């Protein structure tokens, strides 16, 4: 059976499973001109979802999470301790509340026709508050297993790691949604995983399809397609535009 995938921009996707479960990944929709990230064509006020899947608390992955939470009293959020703390600070309940679903690397979260396993991301989870305080946490990737449907690896902000080979052998993902670039920091591109590393990631995971995300400019996509053709010629690059919907 098919999974509907709508790309909202940057690292944000709306996944709809065969049972109708709606999962939203890393909702950063407002964009940021200074970072070189365009605004999503989708307004967070229009999103009503069952679950927000948060890879970590960085603004370019989490900024509109609480806006989406406010749209429905039944929306839950899955993430590490730092994202749970931000959820509590926003008034949506503590770790024991019905809307905050804590996870950590190695844990599996079952919901409807899905099992979502959290695994380590090679990155940092960090948020800096205006009063000088800061919060750190555990950045995560997710392996989304859907009944009678493709298994999806969502990479969040991870850089390349040999763990990807282990995950490929253990969980057999069919599709990888992975970053191939990064934000603009005053003229310097902060690429957690560049196109060539991303192609190696796809090779180690053993996936049949890659949906690239988290990049600025067609040059990154062209580099990735070229590297993928060498590292994993069996793997299809399914590039998407913000607002586009496909079935997998």
> What's the pLDDT score for residue 94?
83
In sequence order, the 6+-apart residues with CB closer than 8 A to the CB of 41 are: 8, 9, 242, 243
CATH number at residue 20: 3.60.15.10
**pLDDT tens readout for residues 194-206:** 999 999 999 999 9
Q: Which residue range(s) make up the domain with 211?
A: 4-247
The alpha carbon dihedral of 161, 163, 169, 173 has a sign of negative
Question: 125: which 2 tokens?
Answer: 């989870």
**Cβ–Cβ contacts within 10 Å for residue 242, how many?**
17
Question: pTM for the whole thing?
Answer: 0.97
Span 59-114, pLDDT tens digits: 999 999 999 999 999 999 999 999 999 999 999 988 888 999 999 999 999 999 99
For residue 118, what are its two tokens? 């959290």
pLDDT band at 162 (very low <50, low <70, confident <90, very high): very high
- How many domains are contained in the chain? 1
Average pLDDT, the chain: 96
What is the predicted pLDDT for the residue at 93? 85
Identify the DSSP state of 40. Answer: P
Q: Which of 109, 131, 93 is nearest to 54 (CA)?
A: 109
pLDDT of residue 1: 75
- DSSP β-ladder status, 245-247 and 4-9: antiparallel
What is the structure's pLDDT at 238?
98
The reported pLDDT for the residue numbered 14 is 98
Which residue in this structure is represented by tokens 């890393």? 26
**Do 242 and 40 meet the contact criterion of CB atoms below 8 Å apart?**
yes
| Residues with Cβ within 8 Å of residue 90, at least 6 apart in sequence | 66, 69
Q: Is residue 119 within 8 Å of residue 106, measured between CB atoms?
A: yes
As a three-state string, the secondary structure of 74-131 is CCEEEECHHHHHHHHHCCCCCCCCCCEEECCCCCEEEECCEEEEEEECCCCEEEECCC
Q: 202-240, pLDDT tens digit by residue?
A: 999 999 999 999 999 999 999 999 999 999 999 999 999
């Amino acid at each position: 059976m098919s999974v509907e995938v709508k790309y909202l921009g940057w690292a944000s996707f709306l996944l709809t499973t065969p049972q109708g479960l709606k999962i939203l990944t890393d909702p950063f929709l407002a964009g940021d001109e200074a970072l070189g990230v365009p605004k999503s064509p989708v307004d967070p006020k229009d999103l009503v979802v069952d679950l927000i899947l948060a890879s970590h608390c960085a603004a370019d992955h989490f900024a509109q999470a609480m806006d989406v939470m406010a749209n429905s009293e039944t929306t839950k959020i899955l993430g590490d301790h730092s994202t749970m703390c931000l959820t509590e600070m926003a008034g949506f309940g503590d770790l024991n509340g019905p809307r905050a679903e804590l996870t950590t690397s190695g844990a599996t979260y079952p919901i409807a026709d899905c099992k979502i396993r959290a695994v380590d991301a090679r990155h940092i989870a960090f948020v800096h508050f205006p009063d000088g305080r800061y919060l750190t946490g555990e950045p995560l990737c997710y392996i989304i297993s859907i009944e009678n449907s493709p298994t999806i690896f969502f990479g969040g902000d991870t850089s390349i790691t040999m763990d990807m080979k282990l995950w490929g052998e253990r969980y057999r993902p069919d599709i990888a949604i992975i970053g191939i670039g990064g934000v603009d920091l005053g003229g310097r591109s902060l690429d957690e995983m560049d196109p060539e590393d991303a192609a190696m990631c796809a090779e180690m995971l053993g996936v049949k399809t890659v949906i690239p995300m988290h990049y600025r400019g067609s040059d990154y996509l062209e580099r990735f397609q070229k590297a993928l053709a060498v590292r994993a010629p069996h793997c299809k690059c399914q590039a998407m535009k913000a607002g586009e919907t496909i079935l997998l």
